[in-house]
Amino acid sequence: GAGVSQSPRYKVAKRGQDVALRCDPISGHVSLFWYQQALGQGPEFLTYFQNEAQLDKSGLPSDRFFAERPEGSVSTLKIQRTQQEDSAVYLCASSSGQGTDTQYFGPGTRLTVL
């Protein structure tokens, strides 16, 4: 497709379960970002990849959060032992070159932890 895609669009998990969220960036885009958006708030940065290299993971809230982009294209955000406070929309964005280029966002994955 032409835009950023994310799957699943909705995910319900029981507390303690592991989840994996997928992001397909725009083809050829070098930079990839993950953001977390709580209800009624603006998105907050989680982590950044340039190709397959994770250059910044300073926004990951705990060591239960892990992201990868092994071939420099598709990325997966994994959350282990989910907690209720992890409930949020997880947004993926990509940009064509440097990170300061315009970021195009996917539709997000709404995670609900019961």
Partner 1 sequence: AQKVTQAQTEISVVEKEDVTLDCVYETRDTTYYLFWYKQPPSGELVFLIRRNSFDEQNEISGRYSWNFQKSTSSFNFTITASQVVDSAVYFCARSEANDGGSQGNLIFGKGTKLSVKP
Give the residues lining the site for partner 1 (CB under 8 A).
Answer: 31, 33, 35, 40-45, 48, 50, 55-56, 59, 89, 91, 93, 95, 98-108, 110
Q: How far is the CB of 50 from partner 1 (least distance, A)?
A: 7
Neighbours of 23 (CB within 10 A): 27
14 versus 50: smaller Cβ distance to partner 1: 50
E-assigned strand segments in 10-108:
10-13, 19-24, 31-37, 44-50, 53-56, 65-68, 75-79, 88-95, 104-105
16 versus 97: smaller Cβ distance to partner 1: 97
